[in-house]
Amino acid sequence: MAGIPQLYFGGDMEAAIPLSGQVCGRIDAVLTARQVIDDTMAGFHEVVAGMSRQYAPAANPA
């Protein structure tokens, strides 16, 4: 237990065994950084488009 602060706050990966089991079961693919960024941006554009449809003022018929 003495190495825990050094591990988490000092970055000393040799000080203790890091806790990693909480999320390791959720990893189902190994993606490149480009894939992560592309997926994140695609999700962003999808959300913005949805918000635009929901909150954009209705067009005024002339």
Give the separation between CA 53 and CA 61, rounded to whole angstroms.
Answer: 17
* Stated pTM of the model: 0.52
Assess if residue 6 is contained within a domain: no
Assess if residue 2 is contained within a domain: no
Q: Assign residue 61 a region (left: φ > 0; alpha: ψ between -120 and 50; beta: otherwise).
A: beta
Domain total in the chain: 1
Other C-beta atoms lying within 10 Å of the C-beta of residue 42: 10
> In sequence order, what E strands does the chain have?
none
pLDDT at 4: 75
pLDDT at 57: 79
Assess if residue 4 is contained within a domain: no
Domain hosting 27: range is: 23-56
pLDDT at 61: 61
Assess if residue 8 is contained within a domain: no
pLDDT at 29: 92
